[in-house]
Structures are given as structure tokens and as C-alpha cells.
Structure 1
Amino acid sequence: MFSGKVKKTALALLVSGFVTGTAYAAPEFLADFHAENGCDSCHASAKGSVSDDNLSHENAQCVSCHGDLKELAAAAPKDKVSPHQSHLIGEIACTSCHKGHEKSVTYCDSCHSFSFDMPYGGKWERKFTPVNADKDIQDKAIAAGAKETTDVVIIGSGGAGLAAAVSARDAGAKVILLEKEPIPGGNTKLAAGGMNAAETKSQAKLGIEDKKQIMIDDTMKGGRELNDPELVKVLANNSSDSIDWLTSLGADMTDVGRMGGASVNRSHRPTGGAGVGAHVAQVLWDSAVKRGTDIRLNSRVVRILEDANGKVTGVLVKGEYTGYYVIKADAVVIAAGGFAKNNDRVAKYDPKLKGFKATNHPGATGDGLDVAQLAGAATRDLEYIQAHPTYSPDGGVMITEAVRGNGAIVVNREGKRFMNEITTRDKASAAILQQTGESAYLLFDDSVRKSLKAIEGYMHLQIVKQGNTVEELAKQLNVPAAELATTVTTYNGFVKAAKDSQFERPNLPRELVTPPYYALEIAPAVHHTMGGVVIDTQAEVKSEKTGKPISGLYAAGEVTGGVHGANRLGGNAISDIVTFGRIAGASAAKYAKDN
């Protein structure tokens, strides 16, 4: 380990190089730069062997010298976008970006579009590799037998996987959670809007009258009545219990707003409207770790193993650094998310979305769906893929629906409103694509900004235009100032009258009269894949051949189909992953105990 003085100097050098673009001359790789310290300055031994697929020892060595994410973020200039000020959760993983024996990469580039000067850097890129690649090598690893044994294996470390892990551990099961990415959290850590739930304590305190049946009706209507009604009932009827469960784990879900397609304010989030996803993911991560869950990153499940009778017996894993190995398990929970980041697959099911950007994390390529289908799982609704209407082309980041829910309006390049801002995502996306440039502007004032902490993240990313007056903002956007001013004035009149006679927007939370005024460009991007494996109300995966549950196989979250029908309502994803994640974990643990 290193002294405080050395650590402080190393931190300053790292931040300086990252932010200002310091020239890093030869040596070529980061390992070369550290060579004089010996291999064991980074690795677990003088021979340079890695500690595990998490690179636990290596990352700890980085932190001991350079500091953790908070220290690095605090040391960065305030006028620059800091890659260390992030929404990442869990243990720090410096090696996600900083590579020793190959070019380093900026993992942020997998989603964002900012330019960072990475020491010893190369270009971040990923090529999708089918899960059944290297089949001969995989077969040999299977033939070699199990390397270890557990009760339950969980695939994926997003909200569904982490909820399942906590639930299974609380039911007494030994759990190994496997995540193919170098950092945990999946799409959950990106979610910002809220978690839909009905008849909650937070709603009651705020005087909000809601019913679980109304949530069921809204969800079915939003999904064009193509949802599995029984799954929707589970979603809604367990939603308030899921809020209570998260609260018992330490989550703050006291702020309640509204998202598109909801009849009532039921979108729960932290105080002040902070981003819900990273908060929930961190709470679940901390809870899983506290309960002794064995969590392994850089660990891709490539096959679910079954016996001759179709009963699950474990998984084949490809560790990024340890290679292929088998884990024997009584039950497996697939919580690996969807495939929105795999545009080839997206375009296969919906050609209109070919070439679209995606709001998802880089690991959302469909691996979980692939291993499930190889295990004989039935699927449904794969053709239903949702585009989120408010993606920032400048920042490469999704703008939460809560900005509109708290009062923002959407205008086109002519300075005019053209839709009900809190309509469902499919309708909003279609309306934006009909405008000049196939994009629009999200416009709000300082009162909206102050009502929602999530907006500060967009300010930090420097993707928001600002003006002291509406006319000044119009110049920044290059839209007709008089037209934009008339639009805002007209909208404010609707708010005063409590009726939007132009587009029938149902909620009108505030006038836009408090300067400064803000706007950012938005365009649709692929956001959620509604289809996936077929499950029942106990999260059991059904067989394509028999229609019956596959013994020992469970699933939760975006990898499943049926909950959302043809279109997911904003706020239902977090509710889905928490509720069905809990059910899957408990069901898997019970199965492991009974078999």
C-alpha cells in the first residue's frame, strides 16, 4: 500500500492527465509505466497472476495509490465533465477503463459522446460474440465437471438480479451472482424517472388517491391490452409491498410524481426527485453484499446446463481472466436484461429502428435471452421494442420522463408545441420523428430545475442551453423567438385555466415563468425490449416444447416478456425488476431447498 503523500500526488497526476490532455509519451501501456515497481505492485503475485475475474486485488491497488471515485471526482475542475463523477454503483473497478497490458479505454464512451484524454488510451469498442462460440472448448469445460457448487446462480447484476440475490439469501440460499460487465448495475443504474406503485404510504402522506386496479388498467392500456393480465396483477398488487421492502433496506422512495400513461401520481423516487435507478441499485447492491452474496464481475454465462430430464443442473461460465468453468447449482435465475444495445437484433424484429442509438448500458445485447432459448425456454412479444422519446444526441444519455412530468414542454424547431408531453412513449417518439430534423427541444424553467435533482446531472454534462428570457433561449436554439415566446405564454395560460385545450395534457404542474429558461435537444432512441422468455406468476420459465415450467429455471426483469405488452409505461420497469426479482429469488431458493 502507499503513503498519503504518494497517493495525493498520484491522484493529482491522474486527474490532470484525464482532464487537460497531458501527453503520455512512451511507454505504450499502463503496465510499462508501472514496470519499475514490479508486477506485484498491481497483481496478486510477483509473477503477475490475476486475483480473480473481479480483479479485486488489482483494483484495490489502484485505489490505494490514486484514490477512489469520490476523491478523483472532487479533485477534477468544476468546469469540466468528470468521468469519475458518475452513476456507477458498487465496488470501484478502475480496471473497467485503465488496462495494464492493452490500450486503456473510457468505458463512459460506450454510452456517452464526450471526449476524454485517457492515459495510454485506445478506442472503446465491442463486438458481439454469440454465447455458443468456442463450442468445442465449452464442451470440454462441461466434460471436466463442476468447479464449485451453490444453491442458486443468478445471471445479471441489475435491479432484478440484485433483488433476487437479496431475496434468495434471506430465504437461506447460498447464492453466486454472475455479471458479464466489469461494473454492476445493468440498466437499473441508468434509470432516472421513478418506480410506479399504488396505494403506498408515500402517496397517502401526500394525499394522493390511487388504486392498484387503476395501475392495472393503466398498464394494460399502455401495453395495448397485449400484456399477460396475471403478470400485470402481480406487478400492481405487489407494488406497494415492494416499496416497503426497498424502504426496509434503506431506500428513500418518498417523492412521488407522474410519468407518461399514468392516471395518478404514482412514480416513487428519492427526495427532491433524484435519479431512482442508481439509488435503488446501490441499496440492493449494499444489501446483497451485506448478506454475503458471492458477486463475480467479468463473468459471462454462456450455457445453462440441464440433465437428461430437462432439469437445471448449473451453468457454464466464461471468466474474462479465469476462462471457462462449471458451477453446479440447484436453481438458476436469469436476470440479464434485454437486447436494446444490439441493433442488429433490434432491426431484425423492428426494421424501422435500424441504426437507432440506444439508451441502454453496453451489456444489453441479449445474452440472457440466448442462453434461455438454448435451454428450451419459450419466448413472446419479441417484436415489441420501445423507443424512448427523450434521448440527448449531444450527451448520449436518456433524459428522464420526470422532467416532463414536473412541467417541461416539448417544442419543435419552429418553436411550437406539437404533442401532449406525457403521452405514452411510443406516441411521443412517433410525434418527434415527424418534426423537422426528427428531433425536438425539451424546454423548462428554473422552477422545474429546482423540483428535480436529476436535472443537475444534465447540467454537469453541459448539454443544456440557457437564457435569461425565453427570447434569449430561442437565439441559443436558433428557433423563432416570437413564436417560442407565444408558445410559452399560451401554455402558461393553459396552466392557469387548469386545462390544455390544445393537446389535452392531463397534468399541468406549474407555469414556466421563473428565469433562467433551459432547453436541450431530444430525439428517440431504443430503450426497452418488451419481449423475452415466458414466465408464470412465480417467475418460473416455461418450456417452448411443453408449455410447462423448466425445473429449476427462473427469470425476472427485461429478459422476460408479458408484463408490459406492446409498450412499457415509464416507471413500470423498476417496479417490474424489484417485484419479480424478489419473487424469482424466493422461488429459486425454495426450489433449491426442496430438491
Structure 2
Amino acid sequence: MSSRIGIVLAALLVLVSATVLWAGGSEPLAKLHEGKATCADCHGSSKKISVDDSEKGVNKNCVGCHGTLAEMGKKSQEEVNPHKSHLGDINCTACHHGHTASWAYCLSCHPFDMKIAGGGATPTMAAPVAKAKKRAEKVDVVVIGAGAAGFTAAITAHDAGAKVVIIEKQPITGGNSMLAAGGMNAAETTFQKEKGIADSVDLMYKDTMTGGGNLNDPALAMVLAKNSAGSVAWLTGLGADLSDVGRMGGASVNRTHRPKGGAAVGAHITEVLRKNAAQRNIDIRVNSKVVKILEDKKGRVTGVRVAGKHSGEYTINAKAVIIAAGGFSANPERVAYYRPEYKGMTTSNQPGATGDGIDLGTAVGGDVKDMKEIQIHPTVAAGSRTLITEAVRGNGAILVNHDGKRFVNELTTRDKASAAILAQKGQTAYLVFDDGVRKSLKQIDGYFHLNLVQQGATLKDLAAAIKVPAETLEATVASYNKGVDDKNDAEFKRPDLPRPLRTAKYYAIEVKPGVHYTMGGLKITTGSEVVAKDGRTIAGLFAAGEGTGGVHGKNRLGGNSISQTITFGRIAGENAARLVKNTRP
């Protein structure tokens, strides 16, 4: 009997301890763990505590006690599961801090009412961390930024024989690529051919140039189109699923590749790239910011200066540096500098997209291009930073205003769709779709999970929920459905009409434009070499991804971003590795 009581009391103690740990409060985790864990349990038994910038040792011990992220996710009782998200397998310390206030990284973008242990903590005195001696390391290639472009460049350079390190300032990897939803544009792929989709490199090039107002660098746009199928094949070879093919705005045919069922492409590709980098033992350092690119007296890049969260500043000598640190949509001051009319507008970007890589490049003489070309995305969920993927419209959703009327071709380019929404009453609109559209695209379920969707059993019920005239909404949908049946959108000339909206239930998401993408950045060659202001290339310096200018012109087509990051990431990695080989003694 006494043993049973002991077991029950032990179970209650565990439950109470867990409740204390997860209820938030003013005590930091180190204090909350007193009596349950010692300093050595987190930091090891060394007399001098040493914490690496990526906090791998601490994270390993967190997992040892509490389980993996996936295991923690299975235990979660919250409506929004903080341990199971599109961020993938990230470090515990991205959110949980031992001696300062913990903070859920999800809150960088989402307004969740999310409790976290130690969330209201005041800093406590930690044991002194052993200061690293002034040091210099040596690699072949340094990659700045751990998004899709950075991972791709690093994997490519590694596979070509180079010793590579990736430096990432944020506590997690993935960048904006991790948030990409719609898909990856590519022409003449095996998946298109299997589905009988007739496409060509020339047509993708033409669509890209037209969408960009012909401001694009034609040579870069052709590189994008010509190498797109090869980039899809490369990702597929790494284990990615890009077998589903749909269409996004500005495309003449279906060429947007994504995982089966229409799942979000970014989180999937990021996990594939992370896995492949790990399999290759590529050195990836988070919480580490490159503060300077180093040059010799002849202007050749020789490495970088890094500021680590715990280690302080140190030097990495290298024969090539690849800037893949993204754009600046999350830098409101810079956005407003180039486009004053966008001041105060929300952004769909993660907090690290501040333009640091562009600054690093210009500091060593790099030229820039198209900096004023900033894209606002038409469908960011109103009152949030959550992007509603263009694929929802591509799969059949329509846009209606507060009068219940359509007002634009939903598959026009993003700049035109955004302008049309901003011209409506309240500068917002509703994305309206039915259960057929919902079932056609897996990622729509996530919007329900985030409580962004209004619904009704009938169109009349939906109209009441979103406060638009029911008769008008019913007439609008009936007119659209007739266009689908006739294969002709007489009113707005929408080119692709994949399905009518006749399957109950009916749904709506209120949307408004938000700053989404910066088309401008460092000027590069077709070989991803950074071009200086005097027109020469800067020896040893390459760039890829959103932080470069010229590929997209005035407006980026949906689906072209992931295509750009993979294609130019591969080119940068190949050419950096080639430079290393050619300069070896």
C-alpha cells in the first residue's frame, strides 16, 4: 500500500513540477530547475564553463532530459503546438533561455497568446563563461546566411571538394526560404512532361521579363529559366518532393512545383537541405554575425570577421565568400527610405531579413541594382504577418471587396493585385473559396489552425460572417462559376479557371497587402560574382538569392524566388569551389 502511495506522490510531484516549468512566471529556467538539475547537467562538468555560439552542448542536454522536439510536440496540449511547426527541427535555446527571459520564437511573426516557462524572468547571474582566446580559423569557402540559397551554395561547394562553413546571425536556420509557400517555378521538367504540360525555357523567360516590366537583367532572367529544370532535378536528387505542379500569377502555364497535395514548399525544402548539410557534416554556426568581409591590398576577398554570441569576435580566413543573407523587407526604415509610401506597412518576412548582406557587399565596393523595387504581396492575412499563399488563388479562390464583388483578375501580377486591393474600401479584401479548393491544397489547413478563416454552410451564411451583402456575394460567385463552365472570364480575363466554387462549406480570409520581397540588391554576373561600382568583379566574392538585384526587375513572379535561390546558389557554390581549386598551391 505504501509503495502505491509513493508512486502516486511521485507522479504528482512530476505533474506539479511540469506545471511550474510551463506556466511562465518571473523565474528564469536556471532557477526553475533548482533541485531538479545542476549547472553541470546543462553545461558539463568542466571547471570553466564554455558555451559555443550555436549552443550545441546545452541543446544536447535539453534533449537528453526532455526529449526531442518531435517528442515534446506529441506531449503538447496547447491549441497552437509550439514544438511542431513549419520551423522544423530547431534548437531548444531559440526559445528557452537559462539565465534571461525565455521567449517563443513563433512570436516573431504570430500574435499568439503563448505561455513559456521563464517568460517573465529577470536576468540572473550565470557562472562566468570562459572567454575564448583571440583566434583565426581557415576554410575554403564562407557562406553568409543559412536560407535556401546559403544551404544550396554550401552543399554544392562541399560536393565539389571545398571545406565550407555557414554563418547565420539568427538562432535558427531557414531564413525567408522556410516561409515560402506557393512553390518553385521551372520549365521543361519531368513532372510537367508526366502531366502533359507544354512549357518551354523561352516561355518562362518571357513571363519573367513581362512580369518584371522588362526592367530585369535579360541575361540573369535567362539563367533563371534555363537552369530551372536542373534545379528541380537537383533538389529531387537530394530527396525533395516537387511532384505537384500548379500555377501562380503571371505564369502562362502550370509550372509551380511543390510537394504532393500542395503542401508548402519552403519548410519542405529547408528540411531537405538541413538534412543534406548534416549528412555532409557541414559546419553551421547560428547566433553568429559576419561584421566585415576582409580583403588584401589588391582588393581580393580573404575571409570574414565574425561576432559570435558567446565567443566574441574572431576571424575566418577563406579563399571565397558567398553572400546569401537575403533582402531587407523586415527593415522598415530601409523600406521607407526607398519607398516612403510603404511606411508603416506590415511585412510577411522573418525578423532576420534586414539587408545585412547587401551592406557587407557594398562595404567592399559592391554595386547595387534596383533597390527601389520592393514588392508588396496582395494577400497577407489582415491583422497579422501571415502570408496567404498565391497558390490558394491559383487553385480557384477569388477576391471580393466589402461589397461582395470581384474587382480584379486574381492571377494578375502581385503589384497589380496589390494596387487593386488598396483601391478598395478599407484597403482590404476577402479571399473566398469553397471546400473543393480547401481539399486541393494541403497548406490551407494551416490557416484554419491559426484562426484566420471565416466560414459558412452556405454563401448566405458566409456573407453574414464577413458582413457583405448576401445577394451580391451569391451573384458574384454564380457569375464566376458560369465563367468556369464557359472557360471564359468575360469580366476580368482571368486566364486559368481550375474549378467552380460550388462545394459547401464556403470560406473567406480577410487580406491586405504587406511588404514581401525586395527585388534589388548586389549587382552580380551570370556566374554569381559580385560586381564593383567600376564594373570589375570583386575577386573571391559571390552572392545569391534575394540579396541580389536584376533577376526580377520591377516585380517578382510568385514561384520565381525559390527557383532563383536554388539556381544561383548552385552557381555560386560551383564557382567558389572552382576558384578554390584554381588557387591551391
Verify same fold: TM over 0.5: yes
Per-residue deviation at 1:88? 1.1
* Aligned: 1:403 with 2:392: yes
The 3-state SS of whatever aligns with 1:584 is: helix
Whose radius of gyration is greater, 1 or 2? 2
Per-residue deviation at 1:50? 4.0
Q: Residues of 2 paired with 1:283 and 1:549: CA distance?
A: 32
> What corresponds to 2:125 in structure 1?
none
Pick from 564, 568, 579 the counterpart of residue 580 of structure 1. 568
Per-residue deviation at 1:462? 1.6
> What corresponds to 1:346 in structure 2?
335
> Deviation string for 1:488-524 (max 9, x for gaps)?
1111111101000111110000000111111111111
> What corresponds to 2:51 in structure 1?
51
* Aligned: 1:77 with 2:77: yes
> Deviation string for 1:123-178 (max 9, x for gaps)?
9xxxxxxxxxxxxxxxxx9xx98511000000000000000011001100000001
* Aligned: 1:303 with 2:301: no
- What is the identity, as a one-letter code, of the residue corresponding to 2:328? F
Please say if residues 15 and 75 of structure 1, whose CA atoms lie closer than 8 Å, have aligned partners that are also in contact: no
- What is the identity, as a one-letter code, of the residue corresponding to 1:34? H
> What corresponds to 1:253 in structure 2?
242
> What corresponds to 1:264 in structure 2?
253
> Deviation string for 1:180-236 (max 9, x for gaps)?
000000001100101000001000010100010000000001111010100111100
- What is the identity, as a one-letter code, of the residue corresponding to 1:75? K
Per-residue deviation at 1:109? 1.1
Per-residue deviation at 1:485? 1.1
> What corresponds to 1:415 in structure 2?
404
Q: TM-score, normalised by structure 1?
A: 0.92
Q: Structure 1: any 5+ residue segments left out of the alignment? A: 124-140
Q: Residues of 1 paired with 2:452 and 2:47: CA distance?
A: 46
Please say if residues 11 and 66 of structure 1, whose CA atoms lie closer than 8 Å, have aligned partners that are also in contact: no
Q: Residues of 2 paired with 1:564 and 1:187: CA distance?
A: 17
Q: TM-score, normalised by structure 2?
A: 0.93
- What is the identity, as a one-letter code, of the residue corresponding to 1:582? R
Q: Residues of 1 paired with 2:110 and 2:445: CA distance?
A: 16
Per-residue deviation at 1:16? 6.1
How many residues in Structure 1 have an aligned counterpart in Structure 2?
A: 564
Distance 1:146 1:77, change over 3 A: closer
Pick from 191, 208, 211 the counterpart of residue 202 of structure 1. 191
Q: Residues of 2 paired with 1:202 and 1:149: CA distance?
A: 42
Please say if residues 394 and 463 of structure 1, whose CA atoms lie closer than 8 Å, have aligned partners that are also in contact: no
Mapping for residues 139-538 of structure 1, pairs under 5 Å = 147-538=136-527
> What corresponds to 1:134 in structure 2?
none
Q: Residues of 2 paired with 1:45 and 1:342: CA distance?
A: 42
Please say if residues 305 and 313 of structure 2, whose CA atoms lie closer than 8 Å, have aligned partners that are also in contact: yes
> What corresponds to 1:567 in structure 2?
555
Q: Please identify, of 388-397 and 564-573, the stretch whose mean Cα deviation from structure 2 is larger.
A: 388-397
> What corresponds to 2:544 in structure 1?
556
The 3-state SS of whatever aligns with 1:324 is: strand
Q: Residues of 2 paired with 1:515 and 1:13: CA distance?
A: 46
- What is the identity, as a one-letter code, of the residue corresponding to 1:113? P
The 3-state SS of whatever aligns with 1:42 is: helix
Distance 1:396 1:114, change over 3 A: farther
Distance 1:461 1:15, change over 3 A: farther
Please say if residues 39 and 47 of structure 1, whose CA atoms lie closer than 8 Å, have aligned partners that are also in contact: no
> What corresponds to 1:128 in structure 2?
none
> What corresponds to 1:118 in structure 2?
116
> What corresponds to 2:105 in structure 1?
107
Q: Please identify, of 105-114 and 257-266, the stretch whose mean Cα deviation from structure 2 is larger.
A: 105-114
Per-residue deviation at 1:75? 2.4
Q: Residues of 2 paired with 1:13 and 1:227: CA distance?
A: 61
Per-residue deviation at 1:25? 5.0
Q: Residues of 1 paired with 2:455 and 2:20: CA distance?
A: 30
The 3-state SS of whatever aligns with 2:43 is: coil
- What is the identity, as a one-letter code, of the residue corresponding to 2:103? V
Distance 1:39 1:589, change over 3 A: same
* Aligned: 1:29 with 2:34: no
Per-residue deviation at 1:73? 2.5
Distance 1:25 1:339, change over 3 A: closer
- What is the identity, as a one-letter code, of the residue corresponding to 2:361? A
Per-residue deviation at 1:339? 0.4
Q: Residues of 1 paired with 2:183 and 2:572: CA distance?
A: 22
Please say if residues 15 and 72 of structure 1, whose CA atoms lie closer than 8 Å, have aligned partners that are also in contact: no
Per-residue deviation at 1:481? 1.3
Q: Residues of 2 paired with 1:247 and 1:560: CA distance?
A: 25
TM-align CA RMSD: 2.1
Please say if residues 25 and 120 of structure 2, whose CA atoms lie closer than 8 Å, have aligned partners that are also in contact: no
Per-residue deviation at 1:81? 1.7
Mapping for residues 4-43 of structure 1, pairs under 5 Å = 23-25=23-25, 28-36=27-35, 37-43=37-43
Distance 1:205 1:185, change over 3 A: same
Distance 1:47 1:424, change over 3 A: farther
Q: Residues of 2 paired with 1:231 and 1:51: CA distance?
A: 43
Distance 1:226 1:183, change over 3 A: same
- What is the identity, as a one-letter code, of the residue corresponding to 2:115? D
- What is the identity, as a one-letter code, of the residue corresponding to 1:407? G
- What is the identity, as a one-letter code, of the residue corresponding to 2:28? F
Q: Structure 2: any 5+ residue segments left out of the alignment? A: 1-7, 122-131
Please say if residues 519 and 553 of structure 2, whose CA atoms lie closer than 8 Å, have aligned partners that are also in contact: yes
Q: Residues of 2 paired with 1:11 and 1:284: CA distance?
A: 38
Q: Residues of 2 paired with 1:152 and 1:403: CA distance?
A: 40
Distance 1:300 1:496, change over 3 A: same
Per-residue deviation at 1:394? 4.1
- What is the identity, as a one-letter code, of the residue corresponding to 2:38? G
Q: Residues of 1 paired with 2:299 and 2:400: CA distance?
A: 55
- What is the identity, as a one-letter code, of the residue corresponding to 2:535? G
Percent identical: 55
Please say if residues 11 and 65 of structure 1, whose CA atoms lie closer than 8 Å, have aligned partners that are also in contact: no
The 3-state SS of whatever aligns with 1:377 is: coil
Per-residue deviation at 1:328? 0.4
Per-residue deviation at 1:413? 1.0
- What is the identity, as a one-letter code, of the residue corresponding to 1:359? S
Per-residue deviation at 1:263? 0.5
Q: Residues of 1 paired with 2:13 and 2:282: CA distance?
A: 33
Pick from 79, 83, 93 the counterpart of residue 95 of structure 1. 93
- What is the identity, as a one-letter code, of the residue corresponding to 1:353? Y
Per-residue deviation at 1:33? 1.2
Q: Residues of 2 paired with 1:11 and 1:97: CA distance?
A: 22
Per-residue deviation at 1:286? 1.1
